[in-house]
Amino acid sequence: MIAVTHTDQATRTVHDRYNRVARFYDFEQAIGMGLIFRSLRRELWRRAPETGRILEIGVGTGINMQHYPPRAEMTAVDISEKMLARASKRAAKLGRAADLRLMDAQHLEFDDASFDAVAATCVFCSVPDPVAGLRQAWRVLRPGGRLLLLEHVRSDNPVTGKVMDWLNPLIVRMEGANINRRTEENVRAAGIDQFETSRHWFGIVRMIEARKP
C-alpha cells in the first residue's frame, strides 16, 4: 500500500486516530451502538447490486465484508493503514476477494463513473469535510448507480440534540466520530437532491439511498 500524504491537520488527525484505535475497533463495534448497527448493516448491503463494481468507503477492519454480494467486484478504501491490515486478514479468512486501497474519502483516486454502487457505514461522521467526501462518492458513481449510506446523526429532539452537541468534543477525542452531524443536510449540500431515508433508533440512525440520474 502506498502512503497517503495528508494535506491538512484535520485529516492527519483522523488518520492517526484510527491507526491508534484499530486494534480495539472490532471490540468497540461488538458492544453499544455496534449491536444496533449489526442488522442495519445487513439491510444496507441487501440493497447493493448483486453484480458489477462496488466501492466501500471507509472499510475499516472489514466488518461489512461478510455482507458483500458474492458476485460483485469489490473495491474498498480506508485512510488508516492499520485498519486496512486488519481488513486484509479478514478478507483472507472469509475467502472474500477485495481490492483494498489506502485512500482519503475526500480525494478518491478513481475516474468519474467508475462504480455501479458506492456504500459507506458510519463513515461520514468522521470525514473532516463530509460534503467533499460525498461529492467524491457521487462523482465516481455511474449513472443509474446507487449510493448507500448508514449513519448516526444529530437528534431532531431539541434537548437530545443539545446534549449531543455538548458531548461531541469528548466523543471525537475518544473515538473519532462526530455524533452531531446532520448527514442529510450534507447529502443535499453535496448536490444530491433526490434520496430516500429510513429512520431508526429514535431517528438517531439513518439509512440513505440515492440513485444517480
* pLDDT tens profile 188-199: 999 999 999 999
Helix ranges restricted to H, 30-129: 33-46, 81-94
pLDDT at 52: 97
- Dihedral angle of Cα 51, 56, 62, 64, to the nearest 10 degrees: -60
Residues in the chain: 213
Which residues are bridge partners to 196 per DSSP? 209
Kindly tell me if the per-residue pLDDT of 28 is higher than 80: no
Kindly tell me if the per-residue pLDDT of 5 is higher than 70: no
Tell me the C-alpha distance between 114 and 92, whole Å: 25
Q: Given pLDDT bands bounded at 50, 70 and 90, which one contains residue 1?
A: very low
The tens digit of pLDDT for each residue in 8-20 reads 888 988 888 888 8
> Which residues are within 8 A (CB) of 197 and not within 5 positions of it... i.e. 6 or more apart?
184, 206, 207, 208, 209
Tell me the C-alpha distance between 3 and 86, whole Å: 17
pLDDT at 2: 40
pLDDT at 174: 75
pLDDT at 30: 72
Contact of 82 with 109, CB cutoff 8 Å? no
